[in-house]
Amino acid sequence: MSDFNLGAFSDAVADIAAKAAPAAASLRVHHGRTATAFHWGDGFFVAAEEILDADEDIELTLGSGETVKATLAGRDPSTGIALLKSDRSGLPALAKAGAVRPGHVAIAIGNGEGAALSVLGTVAEVGPAWRSMRSGTIDRRINLAVGTGGRFEGGPVLDAKGDLIGMLLFGPRRRALVIPFETIERTVAVLKEKGHVVRGYLGAALHPARDGDAVGAMVMSLDDSGPAKAAGLHVGDIIVAWNGEPVEGPRGLMRRLGPDSAGTQVKLDILRGGSRSEVVVTIGEKPLN
């Protein structure tokens, strides 16, 4: 007979959720819906970047029911992380988790206008670093097998010890995924200093294109003061390779314009009038506006 005690396991999960609840806050966003933010430390809260409007007033409802004002200290669309600053002190911060494996228990924590929320699932997939659709570097791939709703978005995901795996976001088809704490830690440090994360900038509007067997990104327009025009690119050029690696359309090129690309020199292979040539571009920093 198994020694597994379902009641004890259930209580243990509930205890983990209760211990983490004071770090989670409810965040009212557009269309009247709510999401979750969680305390990172020193009055700073982490939230999902995509749910925040640039000009909205931010009010957090803590687990105690107390409401506090917050300001947007910085945001990074490439990693999906927003940093909020409140004048509230004395709130707990979550310890960082160790390595996780597929099948490990994962506990998503939320806050619904002061009410503690929790849902139990498992880690479904763990993989290496990857680039987001907006060219941000995510330190680990962690997907969850968990059924949860929008109120958990931006909330912490914990392991079986109650330590922080990362922040819950939703990917394509509302698949639950985790932005790992390593990515949050690195991004928060930059947002505290600059308010934004530098992204690479080419200064060209692009469209998918094909020329014979070659596929790439056609230059549709150029920023007069941008790196692409300064390097000699013309409207109608088709970019087919980046440092010798094929570029399969604008999306493939944009994914290469991450924070680490700004200031670097890149060799672009282009097709112009049916002839292939090379252009060296110094990647710029994407303007904030």
- Please list the pLDDT of the chain residue by residue as tens digits (289 residues): 478 899 999 999 999 999 999 999 999 877 778 999 999 999 999 999 988 876 667 999 999 999 999 999 999 988 999 999 999 888 999 999 999 999 999 999 999 999 999 999 999 999 999 988 887 889 999 999 998 989 999 999 999 999 999 999 998 888 999 999 999 999 999 999 988 888 889 999 999 998 888 889 999 999 999 999 999 999 999 999 999 999 988 988 888 887 788 899 999 999 998 899 999 999 998 876 6
pTM equals 0.83
What pLDDT score does 89 carry?
A: 83
Q: Which amino acid is at 144?
A: L
- Please provide residue 110's backbone torsions phi and psi, each rounded to the nearest 5 degrees: -140, 175
Q: Which helix (H) or strand (E) holds 86?
A: strand 81-86
What pLDDT score does 152 carry?
A: 96
Report the distance separating Cα 44 and Cα 83, nearest Å.
7
Report the distance separating Cα 77 and Cα 42, nearest Å.
23
Q: How many residues does the chain have?
A: 289
What b-and-e string marks burial along 218-234, b requiring 16 or more CB atoms within 10 Å of the CB? Answer: bbeebbeebbbbebebe
Q: What is the pLDDT of residues 93-137, one digit of tens each?
A: 999 999 999 999 999 999 999 999 999 999 999 999 998 888 788
Judged on CB neighbours under 10 Å (0-12, 13-18, 19+), 154 is buried
Q: Where do the domains of the chain lie, and which CATH numbers do they carry?
A: 1-196 (2.40.10.120), 200-285 (2.30.42.10)
HEC secondary structure over 178-197: EEEHHHHHHHHHHHHHHCEC
Query: In sequence order, what are the residues at sequence separation of 6 or more whose Cβ sits closer than 8 angstroms to the Cβ of residue 22?
Result: 62, 63, 64, 91, 92
